[in-house]
């Protein structure tokens, strides 16, 4: 290696200056002489009889340099160099046979220089034919007041729409809409859907359910399973839980502690058995999710303002659970008309609490028509007795034929006179 190190400079010095790349050629090839070009390349050593240009076989940076000429060279040194060439480097004749075509430095530079070509500017004009061939996706709006603008860009929204979710109702809540846009269907949505399916929610019920309770996607799956397990521990069977979740979509959003407190409140306030409390919340699961203030207020109204006894209240609410959450004004107005105008006592109202679940104008119209016909008799101890149940539950055709003993046309004519 030491001998080769000494020979190489002498070998280059012995070659004529016109056989190398001139400084003028270097200036034409390199935009900035004397500075390193940052283009990597890899090539094999190539030599010819006319132009000796060595390209190293490993990646490096090309630098421009001009070797200095030496003033003297001896024949003995030439012979030594020739012998070294035969052993260390391929001869000129052998290399010329292998390489028939002399490499063009300018062509190589032009190919390598393609990396330096800047990309096309978006402001560069193009032809109409090229413009027609461009297919661009519609831009995603940075700000929008509707989720409809994002459906084409969000797999989550697309699949929710296919399930029947009404996005127009969810977008009224900006926080919920933004949360859905950030969710991944496979990671955040799919597991909740499978949980609801296992719970018993049908495919055609998922859309309305998720439209109301889109917040369930923010709940932890293990917490949801824990709440179902709690209801099962209170002897709610799977059918009961499915019915409760379907009718009260937010039921599983509440913690176990809150559900337990609600059940304890109704058992204490209504003084009912555990079984009756369970039947009550299955029929009206909103008792576990809604406010307790209407319940407390109605219980006071039944006892203090309307004069019902505790056992009478218990009987009515077990038959019509909605009486616990009914509007106070409607409750008092209905009772006032039925009790004071129709002269129906408390014990009969207790037997037919459906009257509180009926629109008051319907009760008024039918009572006034019966009074006009002389058939408004609500005492079960007297003839031609008419129960409150039949008065409020029958359709107009049956009411007119069986109760009023009149035609529907007569009833409609009477209503026009009011």
pLDDT tens-digit map of 235-283? 999 999 999 999 999 999 999 999 999 999 999 999 999 999 999 999 9
Q: Band of the pLDDT at 121, cuts 50, 70, 90?
A: low
pLDDT tens-digit map of 279-338? 999 999 999 999 999 999 999 999 999 999 999 999 999 999 999 999 999 999 999 999
Domain boundaries, the chain: 221-290, 291-357, 358-417
- CB-based contacts of 410, cutoff 8 Å, min separation 6: 400
Q: What is the pTM (predicted TM-score) of this model?
A: 0.61
């Amino acid at each position: 290696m030491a001998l080769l190190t000494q020979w190489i400079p002498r070998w280059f010095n012995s070659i004529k200056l016109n056989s190398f790349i001139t400084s003028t050629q270097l200036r034409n090839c390199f935009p900035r002489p004397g500075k390193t070009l940052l283009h990597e390349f890899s090539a094999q050593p190539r030599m010819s009889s006319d132009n000796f240009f060595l390209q190293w076989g490993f990646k490096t940076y090309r630098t421009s340099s001009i070797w200095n000429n030496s003033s003297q060279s001896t024949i003995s040194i030439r012979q030594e160099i020739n012998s070294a060439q035969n052993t260390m480097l391929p001869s000129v004749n052998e290399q010329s046979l292998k390489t028939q075509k002399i490499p063009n430095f300018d062509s190589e530079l032009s190919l390598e220089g393609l990396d330096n070509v800047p990309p096309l500017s978006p402001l560069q004009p193009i032809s109409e034919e090229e413009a027609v061939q461009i297919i661009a996706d519609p831009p995603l709006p940075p700000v929008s007041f509707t989720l409809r603008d994002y459906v084409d860009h969000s797999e989550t929204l697309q699949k929710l729409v296919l399930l029947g979710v009404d996005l127009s109702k969810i977008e009224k809540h900006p926080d919920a809409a933004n949360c859905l846009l950030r969710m991944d269907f496979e990671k955040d949505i799919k597991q909740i859907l499978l949980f609801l399916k296992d719970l018993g929610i049908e495919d055609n019920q998922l859309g309305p359910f998720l439209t109301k309770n889109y917040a369930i996607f923010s709940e932890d799956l293990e917490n949801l399973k824990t709440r179902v397990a709690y209801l099962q521990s209170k002897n709610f069977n799977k059918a009961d839980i499915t019915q409760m979740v379907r009718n009260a979509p937010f039921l599983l959003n509440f913690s176990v502690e809150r559900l337990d407190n609600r059940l304890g409140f109704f058992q204490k306030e209504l003084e009912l058995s555990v079984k009756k409390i369970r039947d009550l919340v299955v029929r009206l699961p909103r008792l576990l999710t809604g406010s307790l203030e209407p319940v407390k207020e109605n219980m006071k109204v039944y006892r203090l303002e309307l004069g019902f006894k505790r056992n009478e209240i218990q009987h009515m609410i077990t038959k019509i659970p909605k009486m616990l959450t009914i509007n106070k004004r409607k409750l008092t107005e209905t009772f006032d008309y039925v009790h004071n105008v129709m002269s129906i006592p408390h014990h009969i109202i207790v037997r037919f609490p459906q009257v509180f679940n009926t629109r008051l104008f319907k009760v008024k119209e039918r009572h006034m028509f019966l009074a006009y016909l002389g058939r408004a008799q609500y005492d079960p101890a007297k003839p031609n007795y008419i129960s409150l149940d039949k008065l409020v539950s029958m359709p107009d055709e049956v009411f007119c034929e069986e109760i009023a003993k009149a035609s529907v046309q007569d009833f409609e004519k009477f209503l026009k006179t009011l």
